[in-house]
Amino acid sequence: MERFITEANLQQFAATLAGKKHVLAPVASGGTTCFRRLVPGMRLDFSRMAVISPKDATFPRNETLLLVQRYVEESGKKLELKEQLPEGECIVIGSRPCGARGKLIFDPVYETEAIKDPYYLRRRDNTLFITLSCDRPESTCFCHSVGSNPADGTGSDVLLTAVEGGFFARAITPKGEELLADALFEEAGTRAEEAAAKQTKARELMGQAHDFSSAAAKLLERFDDMGFWQAQSNKCISCGACTYMCPTCYCFNITDDEAGLVSRRLRSWDNCMSHTFTLEGSGHNPRGTKAHRLKNRVGHKFSYYPDLHASQIACCGCGRCIKQCPAGVDIRQVVMAAQEYVDER
């Protein structure tokens, strides 16, 4: 199904959805653009890619898994345990293709024959993505080098492309078709051709894709070469911004929080670039330096994960980790350095 919607009607469509469901959308705030829960008075901001990805929709930065209520009765103490599975539907409006694709990296990890994560799966199945294709890729974007493109509909339910007067909308899934059945959408007419031209132009602006096919093997060759990793990590300050911005990072920590007679078991994003990520109770840390931690982060995305999951790179090429790094560490350059490395000994 192909439809068209004006910018004003898209704003109205988003506001109407926000009155019924949980809607996450890019909103201008403090000189930048971030995903926020849409409430009356907010306007969608498509002028630039949001600083942080919409990963929160399917994998919140903090969520309650269990509630424990303690009761003190005459017969003794009693515990009541309640699982807190997420309820309701979420709609993400204005994600870029890289953000919508990010959740696909989670699927082989959180849905296997042996393990199924009910929290992630419930959110994934109850979340719809109305994605906006990119027309002005940034210098830090490299989705075309990891098997995608600026108009990739994978992981989306509806793909929007900016055209004269509004947006051309194409349904990717049956749920997407239901969204486009709204009266605010019009007949697309001949706008499909204009949208296709915009998408082609955006891909051309990205230039030639880099070939990462040898990365998995080349990174393994450098696994024990700590001199190489120290050189690559010299600029890193271990702040962890790269992992928090990333649409495909899925590590988490579990903590318990107690307030009176009620306790909560919480799941929160964790950060593999943090010194405490692998710190053991004994005080030993198998990744005690930032060189070891960067090796793990880059190796996981471009070598270990692809080796386990049909050569799929665990990176969507959004470039957030590059753009937001205060020290200028570029994951592309790290991988390319491993690919181009020549042992001169």
Global pTM?
Answer: 0.92
DSSP 98-162: HHHHHGGGTHHHHB-SS-B-HHHHHHHHTEEEEEE--SS--TT--GGGGT--TT--TT-SEEEEE
- Rounded mean pLDDT of the chain? 94
331-340 and 290-299 helices, crossing angle to 10°: 80
Convert the pLDDT of each residue in 249-263 to its tens digit.
Answer: 999 999 999 888 889
CB-CB contact of 191 with 243 (8 Å):
no
How would you class 23 by CB atoms within 10 Å of its CB: exposed for 0-12, middle for 13-18, buried for 19 or more? buried
> Do 151 and 97 form a contact (C-beta atoms < 8 A)?
yes
- Give the containing element (helix H, strand E) for 194: helix 191-205
From first to last of its 345 residues, the chain has per-residue pLDDT tens of 999 999 999 999 999 999 999 999 999 988 889 999 999 889 999 988 999 999 999 999 999 999 998 887 777 778 889 999 999 999 999 999 999 999 999 999 999 999 999 999 999 999 999 999 999 999 999 999 999 999 999 999 999 999 999 999 999 999 999 999 999 999 999 999 999 999 999 999 999 999 999 999 999 999 999 999 999 999 999 999 999 999 999 999 999 998 888 899 999 999 999 999 999 999 999 999 999 999 999 999 999 999 999 999 999 999 999 999 999 999 999 999 999 987 765
User: Which amino acid would we find at residue 179?
Assistant: L
Is residue 198 a contact partner of residue 135, using CB atoms and an 8 Å limit? yes
Q: What is the pLDDT of residues 295-319, one digit of tens each?
A: 999 999 999 999 999 999 999 999 9
DSSP 88: S
Helix (H, G, I), strand (E, B) or coil at 176: helix
